[in-house]
Structure 1
Amino acid sequence: MKRGVRGGRDGRGVRGGRAGADATDVDATAVRRASRVVGVQLTIASGALVVAAIGVAFFFVLDQLRPAELAEKPRPGEHKIYIDTTEAMIAFVVVGVLAVAVAGAASLIITRRAVRPLGRALQMQRTFVQDASHELRTPLAVLDARLQILQRTLPPDDPSSPVVAELRTDARALIDIVDDLLLAAEPVQDAHGDPTPVLAAVDRAADAMRVLAEPRGIDVRLDAPAGHDALVAMPAASLQRCVTALVDNALAHSPDGSTITVAVRVQGRTVTLTVADQGTGIRGIDPRRIFDRFARAPQASAGAAGAGASGTSPTPVRPSFGIGLALVRDIAARSGGSVDVAATSDAGTVLRLTLPTL
């Protein structure tokens, strides 16, 4: 039911057109900002070169100006030019200022023209991802519904039941991937809206993820001191999305029957949210790279570690394509926060989301 509401919200109607327009505006702004930054850097570099060249020329001229030569009379056919030191300095300064101004203007114009194709390519890429994701959502939803009907009609002892269950898991994984692609294609905008209470959003996200954790015997615990709530400058939906992605990542790497702890702490003007699992830690990838888009680590069955204790077979988990945690980093950055790996070892991993409070 949750996915259905989300699907309607992301429909291709008015919201789709508005999202496309917002994406275009944000892309254009990003391209202009990039061109200005590169232009300023080129201006500084070229200005420094111009100043250095004029300085060398100025000192070379001064070195050639010898006071003893003023008393010498020109030889027959020889012509001498006498340059006043003050006038030479003024001339060099004027030429230098003009050269730096011309170099700066040329750098800004050239960089703006150079990054313009990149802006068009970024817009085309974002549009393609949005269109492709929208077109895939409906057939995937239909496929998942038909598999669900088939799964309910099969008797429990039917030998094909495990295969149908795996097909449903794969279908849901594809739907989640498409949802993540849609979120990744959304333009990055500054945080806005009313202040959001942290504990309420975190509680909703943890409660929603318990639906996925309970079939595997995983306990999602919320550790938040009562009466110590905080307000952050982030939409409630965005904060809930961050917590959901962090807990979902913990579920994907937790053994069956383990515990995931979601803790909230307020210290001064900062609220820290941590999600700790009891998995085997981050392996096969640098922990600093797990928040990069499409960064992936080798993944095994999450239930393998807990199979011996529970006596059940390992529970396969949906694969991660490295989009969810990248979205958390982007959303946190919009609100002036950050996300990182607080700890990782054979005993588990702790991801930490830090946000400034109001």
Structure 2
Amino acid sequence: MTFGGSAVRGDARLARRAAVRLGAQAAVLVAVLVVVLTAVAVVVLIDAQRAQVTAQLDDAIARADDVGDPPAGVYLLLRAPDGTVTATAGLPDGVAEPEALAEAAAGGDPPAVERDVDEVQYEIATQRRPDGSTVQAILDLTANHAERNRLVATMLVVGLVGLAGAAAAGTWLGHRALSPLSAALALQRRFVADAGHELRTPLTLLGTRAQLLRRRLRRTTDVDREALAEADGVVADAARLTAILEDLLLTADPRAERTTEPVDLAALAREVGDSAGAEVRVDADEPVVVRGTPVALTRAVTALVDNAVRHARTGTVVAVHADGDRAVVDVTDDGEGVDPAVAPRIFERFTTGARTTDPGRRRYGIGLALVAEIAAAHDGRVELVPATTGAHFRLTLPVDRSGW
């Protein structure tokens, strides 16, 4: 695998897409705010206009001496005590409310009503005055509606301009915020590529020399079986380290496609336990199969076993079994256990949870964090199970029943 200009360009594309998403989210937020503020403003305006209309009609009725000179936009109907009705010139047909006029003249209190005539809306109020006359005031609401429409249109235009500005500003700010992250990501990829290249060469040489040594030992007539077994182990370890290096390079590139296959956790645990010198107990009558990346799962189980072996007093137990649709790997030791103060953060990087540490070997607190990441990548989880003595870690993964 190589990390070069294509990876850097890929990071730049990811940063641009993230910036566009941030801009879109800012635009959506502004749109919601504009809609809410517009709705509030319209409600407030409607209430204010309604109060203004009521005041205009009441004032027109109170000041009406005759129907000849009403306020602008108002028509009047005046019913004298003798029943004679006069109306303002130009009153549109069908607008007046004769029933309300008669009701008020008879001592009633008809409510104000709205009426649409020829696509024009009117507000009508009728009151009986102390002098015995009855007045009906009719207000043309065209001007009120025009003012409301102007306000709504203005707010929509301002909102659209703000929407475009928020999208542009969000994209620009997102790009500025993500540019350092993109650069850091590119630097990380270059470091991984350089480290992978530098490690691959000595690993290849190590594997080649181990194979040559094993070949010479096999050609020896009086071969030392123990030395030959050790040579076989070195060859296997070199191959395993090369596979781990390739898996680490894949992990460093989130766009890389990782191939998965059925993996028998029981057999994997036996292999890891044998290489670590730990006691392995497999609680299963048949293979416990999950689907994943063999190298990554080997890394996860190895990290758990290595952690247990380092802190155990007398021994470590690795138990593998299936629990319904979940595969379970339990790794326990009889050591000092995990410090309760750091237990909640035990799967965070650079956190060491042992009560006692080996002063001869530095611990970085990365192994368990890698186990958590590998488990999450395989739709599983790792947890610290409460134990009376020692430490108990449990790795659970989905069982793969396809083909079995």
User: For the superposition of Structure 1 and Structure 2, which TM-score range results when normalised by the shorter chain?
Assistant: 0.5 to 0.7
Instruction: Say if 2:312 and 2:390, in contact at 8 Å, map to a contact too.
Output: no
User: Counterpart in 2 of 1:239?
Assistant: 297
Alignment size in residue pairs = 281
Does the 8 Å contact 1:274/1:351 carry over to 2? yes
Deviation digits for residues 322-357 of structure 1, max 9, x if unmatched?
222222222222222222223344343223333353
Relative to structure 1, is the Cα distance of residues 192 and 42 closer, same or farther in structure 2, using a 3 angstrom cutoff?
same
Contact 1:220 1:262 in 2 (8 A): no
CA distance 1:343–1:40, shift in 2 (3 Å)? farther
Q: Which moved more, 1:85-94 or 1:344-353?
A: 85-94
Match of 1:292 in 2: 348
Does structure 1 residue 340 correspond to structure 2 residue 369? Answer: no
The structure with the larger Rg is 2
Match of 1:226 among 264, 285, 288: 285
The answer for the alignment partner of 2:367 in structure 1 is: 324
- 2:35 aligned residue (51, 62, 83): 51
Contact 2:38 2:152 in 1 (8 A): no
**Higher helix proportion (structure 1 or 2):** 1
1:250 aligns with 2:315: no
Tell me the SS of whatever aligns to 1:69: helix
Is 1:64 the equivalent of 2:54? no
Cα–Cα, structure 1 residues 293 and 235, in superposed 2: closer, same or farther, change >3 Å? Answer: same
Query: Deviations for 1:75-121, whole angstroms, at most 9, x for unmatched residues?
Result: xxxxx963348736863567546644553454234313321221112
> Counterparts of 1:272 and 1:85 in 2: how far apart (Å)?
71
Q: Which amino acid aligns with 2:348?
A: D
Secondary structure (helix, strand or coil) at the match of 2:372 reads: helix
Per-residue CA deviations over 1:224-260 (Å, capped at 9, x if unaligned) read: 312253332x1212221211111112112211x2232
% same residue? 30
- Between 1 and 2, higher relative CO (CA 8 Å, sep ≥ 6) is seen in 1
The aligned residue for residue 261 of structure 1 is 318
Residues 269, 280 of structure 2: 8 Å contact kept: no
More strand by share: 2
Return the alpha-carbon distance in structure 2 between the equivalents of residues 82 and 43 of structure 1: 32
The normalised TM-score by structure 2 is: 0.56
> Secondary structure of the equivalent of 1:110?
helix
**Alignment check: 8 A CA contact 1:245 1:328 kept:** yes
Partner residue, 1:171 = none
The 3-state SS of whatever aligns with 1:83 is: helix
d(CA) in 2 for partners of 1:288 and 1:272?
A: 21
1:275-299 deviations in Å (ceiling 9; x for gaps): 2222222116432322222222356
2:176 aligns with one of 94, 100, 113: 113
Separation of aligned partners in 2, 1:38 and 1:104: 8
Distance change >3 Å, CA 244–CA 138, structure 1 → 2: same
Aligned residue for 1:127? 190
- Say whether the 8 Å CA contact 1:337–1:356 is kept in structure 2: no
Aligned 8 A contact 1:220 1:259 in 2 = yes
Would you say 1:183 and 2:248 are equivalent positions?
A: yes
Conserved? CA contact 1:294–1:323, under 8 Å: yes
1:132-170 per-position Cα deviation (integer Å, ceiling 9, x unaligned)? 57658989999xx9xxxxxxxxxxxxxxxxxxxxxxxxx
Distance change (3 Å), C-alpha of 1:49 and 1:88: same
Partners of 1:33 and 1:353 in 2: how far apart?
35
Pairwise CA distance, 1:274 = 2.2
Q: Secondary structure at the match of 2:144?
A: coil
Q: Distance in 2 between the 1:264 and 1:21 partners?
A: 46
Tell whether 2:259 aligns with 1:193: yes
- Residue 354 of structure 1 is matched in structure 2 by 397
Unmatched tracts of structure 1, length 5 or more: 1-14, 75-79, 146-175, 214-218, 303-315
Q: Report the AA paired with residue 264 of structure 2.
A: V
> Is structure 2 residue 333 aligned with structure 1 residue 277?
yes
